Amino acid sequence: MLSSTSANTATVIPLHSYQAVQHELEAGLLSDAAYTSPKYFYDAVGSVLFEAICVLPEYYPTRTEAAIFSTHMADMAHVIGAGGTLIDLGAGNCAKAARLFPRLHPDQYVPIDISVDHLQDAVRRLQQRFPHIEMTALGLDLSQDWVLPSEVREEKRLFFYPGSSIGNFEPAQALHFLRHLRSLSGDEGGILIGVDLIKEHSLLNAAYADSLGVTAAFNLNLLRHVNRVLGSDFDVRQWQHLAFFNPEKSRIEMHLQAQADVRVSWPGAHRNFIRGERIHTENSYKYSINSFVDLLASAGFSTTRHWTDENGWFAVIYAKAA
């Protein structure tokens, strides 16, 4: 946990042991179809690369979602109401949540992110701009079991989950995650969530394989992060970025594909990859509004409102605890 109540206070408490993280990585890499969790994108370099991705012309989600907030923020604030505890899931640089402050006027802001150093710097800058808001930042892995510490107020909790990050979860995992949020919401709580919608496949494919190669660098940087954590010897020059829309599963898939036969070793184990073999690094599921509303209902939320852009590419949905 990284707890910040003033611009000069920061404490880091690791949530999971380093050994457990290594075991998780090893299990994925030794699986019949190798995989890693997308959380390993977000070391210091990966976090900066993702910020660059968000301003690319091909990557529509960030600007489309931002336009929805810009157009409909007054209506959102009217529906949600002011005050309470704003819990920012996967906060990154905290910029998206900060745009809500002038309308929602939270009593407490709780940004959560796995990239602790990146989060710590963002919160320190934010505290200088909004010294009247209590801030308690948490370094947590949202893909694992997690709880909120006692420092997080229980009154009127609003979970903020923008950017369609919910799409990184398998559908069953997404339901489990949303049910967990419902259990933490209390009777007055709710969720404000960004959801990427099903659209023309060419738009989806371009968003995850940009012409400048920033997304490719983001994906390949995962191997450098894995090397540091696992002690492995991946050579990024031997791998290439691959991304495509899978219509049967309604998801974008990202992979790293071996360009030649490769042997990768780490303490106590190794794996031989043949040319063309892949490591599955991320899914990004796309929903219809109706299918996501049904998912929220199954998790114990009652949908109050949703807002979309004029093209119907993206939606922001507010749901209350049922």
Angle at 235 between CA 233 and CA 239, to 5 degrees: 130
Contact by Cβ (8 Å): 321, 186: yes
- Residues 246-282: tens digit of each pLDDT: 999 999 999 999 999 999 999 999 999 999 999 999 9
Question: Per the structure block, which two tokens stand in for 188?
Answer: 């007055």
pLDDT class of 116 with cuts at 50, 70, 90: confident
pLDDT at res. 145: 84
pLDDT at res. 17: 64
* pTM of structure: 0.89
pLDDT at res. 15: 46
Domains (range + CATH), the chain = 21-54+201-285 (no CATH), 62-199+288-321 (3.40.50.150)
For the cut 80, the answer to whether the pLDDT of residue 5 exceeds it is no
What is the Cα–Cα distance from 159 to 169, expressed in whole angstroms? 17
* Sheet bearing 278-285, strands edge to edge: 239-246, 251-258, 278-285
What residue type is 212 in one-letter code?
Answer: L
What's the count of helices (H) and strands (E) in the chain, helices before strands?
10, 13
Q: Quick one: average pLDDT of 52-60?
A: 96
Q: Quick one: average pLDDT of 227-239?
A: 97
For the cut 80, the answer to whether the pLDDT of residue 67 exceeds it is yes
What is the Cα–Cα distance from 218 to 265, expressed in whole angstroms? 22
pLDDT at res. 10: 33
Contact by Cβ (8 Å): 289, 173: no
pLDDT class of 1 with cuts at 50, 70, 90: very low
| Helical ranges in the chain per DSSP H | 18-29, 44-53, 60-80, 95-98, 101-104, 116-129, 171-185, 201-207, 214-230, 289-299
pLDDT class of 6 with cuts at 50, 70, 90: very low
What is the Cα–Cα distance from 255 to 201, expressed in whole angstroms? 18
Look at the block and give the residue holding tokens 């919910």.
166
The set of residues, in sequence order, having a beta carbon less than 8 Å from that of 117 and lying 6+ positions away, is 44
Which is more confident, 101 or 139? 101
